[in-house]
A and B are shown apart, each in its own frame.
Chain A
Amino acid sequence: MRLFLKGLGKRELATSFMLILFIILFILPFVTIGLKSVSVGWRWPALLPSGLSLDAWRSIMKDPKLIESLVTTFKVAFLVVLLNLLLAIPAARALSHYMFKGKSIIEGLLLSPILIPGILLAMGLQFTMIQFGIADKVIGVVFVHLIPTLPYAIRVMRAGYERMGSSLYEQASVLGAGLFTRFFTIALPLLLPSIRSLMLLTFVISLGQYALTAIIGGGTVITLPMLYYPYFSSSNDAVIAGFSILFALLPLLFIGFVEVMMRLVIRAVNRV
């Protein structure tokens, strides 16, 4: 051990220390709640649980409200991701490849939801959305979830387009490729990392909304966070831990699904 430490320089030592700190701070907590969710009687001052059981998971899975809200959550998040893709990709393309009058104003407006409190906007929109009959519905909730997601989606896609440059696109159009061929054979494969980040980011942001969903959903659109808060004030630790793990698993599940879908799309496009 000593020899090993001697072999390392001061800088390497600092780097490995940082890395260990990083792992303790960001990975260990997940292992802990994972363990917590299958534990019984893990109380102060025990450092490890006194027994293991799947009771907490059973009671989570038995909750009929949970399955329903899981479906609602996926519905909302899926639509939010889809809308973000449809809105952000063309906007990012325009912003990254063209100069035009009033560009900075448009950029400013598109990024403004980052600065203006989302909760203020949702409260402001609520009355009008009731009048138009889209409050208390999934579609209304999807709409307000665009406030915290769309600016980030545009940002991510824009960075992707800027990295891609325009030379390949120009080459393709000189060779006579149409809009769709160009998009599917050049932009899509090259933008894949950005699209992946966009989907993951917007999914996670949508998954984490409580206040916006509560204000516009009005207690009829029950997404998972609506159930998490009451659970938090209940005292069964293992159940809260299991619920938290569920929140961490959903994005992974989603990104796995997306990955498979994207592979299929690309394969289909390549065949055509």
Chain B
Amino acid sequence: MNGRIGLLSNNWKISLYLLPAFAITLLLVGYGTWSAVAQSFQTIDGEWTIATYAELFSSDAFFHSLKLTFRVAILSTLLSLVIGLVMTRMLYELFKVSTWKLLVWIPMLIPHFVAGYLVFLFLSQSGLLSSLLYQIGALENRANFPVLVQEEFGIGIILTYVWKEVPFVILMLLPVYYEIDHRYSEVVRTLGGSNWDAFKTVELPWLLPVLIETSVILVAFVASAFEIPYLLGVTRPEMLPVRAYEWFYNGDWSKRPLAFSAMILPGVIALLLATLSIGAVQKHRLRMIKGRSR
């Protein structure tokens, strides 16, 4: 498509196609970020100060929240990736049939907080799993059932995210699995390699870019999402998005700069993570194009 087709030259056409999405994103992200950063460095009267950050970094509660946030984000991402990968590997032949593929879409169809409710319904102390265990005689009292939701470690939150993100991981991985030439796996097995060897040498190089991309998306999402921890978390320590939201909505306007600065740190961490991993993926891609393994 080098020549001119239609009335506009290619350059004009490209600009016209991209401009609306570009302008809106620039406004939302560019202006939003700038405004948030600016407000985190200002007092409520508009004076510039770093006092907010000083207050934040000297507070133990903030670091507890930060730790909880990234623990939940990283654990739920890793679990979703591993489970999603295993399920995709075993079921991708099956998912070629579109009826089965619809099954994967079902959990994607409901909002996160409904998934949170499901976890609450099944896994709380008076939930259905606890009832089941009582009925089969494995549990004497509901108080003996472990506290899985609304506790400090965030187990309920992690489980909700895993439940919700495993289908997402499967949908990200499926196209790659259809692209892989599985005859290579047969070669590995014929040459005496194990299943693991086949996975490592044939599938993993193909999967790696998508796996990294998916994990960056998931970590960034979980670290900044508010809906689930608000429903299934405890007050102390709270996950950062909940903390920030409460500072923002607290009647006390002097807390607002804290809300901004508390969310900037996870944002920066997610961006760093993304830049690093995209760099790594680029290197990996180059290696694949050149056709050398090391």
* A residues neighboring B (CB under 8 Å): 14-15, 18-19, 22-23, 25-27, 29-30, 32-33, 36, 43-47, 86-88, 90-91, 93-95, 97-98, 100, 106, 109-110, 112-125, 127-128, 143-144, 146-147, 150, 154, 159, 166, 170, 173, 178-179, 200-201, 204, 207-211, 214-215, 225, 228-229, 232, 240-241, 244, 247-248, 251-252
For B10, what are the chain A residues with a Cβ–Cβ distance below 8 Å?
98
Q: Do residues A146 and B134 form an inter-chain contact, with CB atoms below 8 A?
A: no
Q: 0/1 per residue, B211-225, Cβ < 8 Å to A?
A: 000001100110110
Q: Do residues A26 and B224 form an inter-chain contact, with CB atoms below 8 A?
A: no
Complex Cα gap A166–B1 (Å): 9
For A97, what are the chain B residues with a Cβ–Cβ distance below 8 Å?
1
A19-B94, A170-B1, A207-B111 given; A110·B135 CB < 8 A: no
Q: Do residues B263 and A123 form an inter-chain contact, with CB atoms below 8 A?
A: yes
Asked if B110 is an interface residue, CB under 8 A from chain A, the answer is yes
Complex Cα gap A90–B6 (Å): 16
Q: Do residues B241 and A119 form an inter-chain contact, with CB atoms below 8 A?
A: yes
Complex Cα gap A209–B221 (Å): 13
For A159, what are the chain B residues with a Cβ–Cβ distance below 8 Å?
175
Asked if B280 is an interface residue, CB under 8 A from chain A, the answer is no
A32 in complex: contacting residue of B24, B128, B230, CB < 8 Å: B128
Q: Do residues A211 and B32 form an inter-chain contact, with CB atoms below 8 A?
A: no
Asked if B180 is an interface residue, CB under 8 A from chain A, the answer is no
A94 in complex: contacting residue of B17, B39, B167, B230, CB < 8 Å: B17
B28 in complex: contacting residue of A43, A93, A114, A143, CB < 8 Å: A143
Which B1-56 residues have C-beta < 8 A from chain A?
Answer: 1, 5-6, 10-11, 13-14, 16-18, 20-22, 24-26, 28-29, 31-37, 39
For B90, what are the chain A residues with a Cβ–Cβ distance below 8 Å?
14-15, 18
Chain A contact residues: over half helix, strand or loop, or mixed?
helix
For A86, what are the chain B residues with a Cβ–Cβ distance below 8 Å?
20
Q: 0/1 per residue, B111-144, Cβ < 8 Å to A?
A: 1111001100110001110111011000000100
Q: What would 19 A/B residue contacts be, using CB atoms closer than 8 Å?
A: A14-B90, A18-B91, A22-B103, A45-B142, A110-B21, A116-B29, A117-B241, A119-B245, A122-B32, A124-B31, A124-B36, A124-B39, A144-B28, A147-B32, A204-B109, A210-B226, A210-B227, A229-B113, A244-B114
Q: Do residues A36 and B25 form an inter-chain contact, with CB atoms below 8 A?
A: no
Asked if B153 is an interface residue, CB under 8 A from chain A, the answer is no
Q: Do residues A88 and B118 form an inter-chain contact, with CB atoms below 8 A?
A: no
For B217, what are the chain A residues with a Cβ–Cβ distance below 8 Å?
114
Stretch at the interface among B57-65, B182-190, B266-274: B266-274
For A117, what are the chain B residues with a Cβ–Cβ distance below 8 Å?
220, 223-224, 241, 263, 266-267, 270
Q: Do residues A90 and B260 form an inter-chain contact, with CB atoms below 8 A?
A: no
Residue of A nearest to B136 (CB): A47
B267 in complex: contacting residue of A109, A116, A178, CB < 8 Å: A116
A91-B17, A124-B33 given; A45·B131 CB < 8 A: yes
Complex Cα gap A119–B28 (Å): 12
Q: 0/1 per residue, B163-181, Cβ < 8 Å to A?
A: 1000100000001000000
Q: Do residues A128 and B226 form an inter-chain contact, with CB atoms below 8 A?
A: no
Complex Cα gap A95–B267 (Å): 26
Q: Do residues A115 and B163 form an inter-chain contact, with CB atoms below 8 A?
A: no
Q: How far is the CB of A28 from chain B (nearest CB, A)?
A: 9
Q: Do residues A146 and B24 form an inter-chain contact, with CB atoms below 8 A?
A: yes
A117-B266, A143-B28 given; A248·B103 CB < 8 A: no
Q: A119-B244, A208-B227, A252-B109 provided; 16 other pairs, C-beta below 8 A?
A: A15-B93, A18-B87, A23-B103, A26-B107, A33-B118, A91-B20, A94-B17, A94-B18, A115-B216, A117-B241, A117-B267, A120-B263, A208-B110, A208-B113, A232-B113, A247-B110
Asked if B199 is an interface residue, CB under 8 A from chain A, the answer is no
Asked if B248 is an interface residue, CB under 8 A from chain A, the answer is yes
Complex Cα gap A259–B235 (Å): 44
Complex Cα gap A124–B33 (Å): 7
Q: How far is the CB of B207 from chain A (nearest CB, A)?
A: 17
Q: Do residues B20 and A120 form an inter-chain contact, with CB atoms below 8 A?
A: no
For B35, what are the chain A residues with a Cβ–Cβ distance below 8 Å?
124-125, 127-128
Residue of B nearest to A15 (CB): B90
For A127, what are the chain B residues with a Cβ–Cβ distance below 8 Å?
35, 39
Q: Do residues B91 and A19 form an inter-chain contact, with CB atoms below 8 A?
A: yes
For B223, what are the chain A residues with a Cβ–Cβ distance below 8 Å?
117
Q: Do residues B94 and A247 form an inter-chain contact, with CB atoms below 8 A?
A: no
A200 in complex: contacting residue of B29, B37, B109, B230, CB < 8 Å: B109
Complex Cα gap A150–B27 (Å): 13
Q: Do residues B142 and A109 form an inter-chain contact, with CB atoms below 8 A?
A: no
Q: Do residues B227 and A247 form an inter-chain contact, with CB atoms below 8 A?
A: no
For A113, what are the chain B residues with a Cβ–Cβ distance below 8 Å?
25, 28-29
Q: How far is the CB of A39 from chain B (nearest CB, A)?
A: 12
For A248, what are the chain B residues with a Cβ–Cβ distance below 8 Å?
109-110, 114
Complex Cα gap A19–B93 (Å): 12
Q: Do residues A87 and B131 form an inter-chain contact, with CB atoms below 8 A?
A: no
For B79, what are the chain A residues with a Cβ–Cβ distance below 8 Å?
none
Asked if B259 is an interface residue, CB under 8 A from chain A, the answer is yes
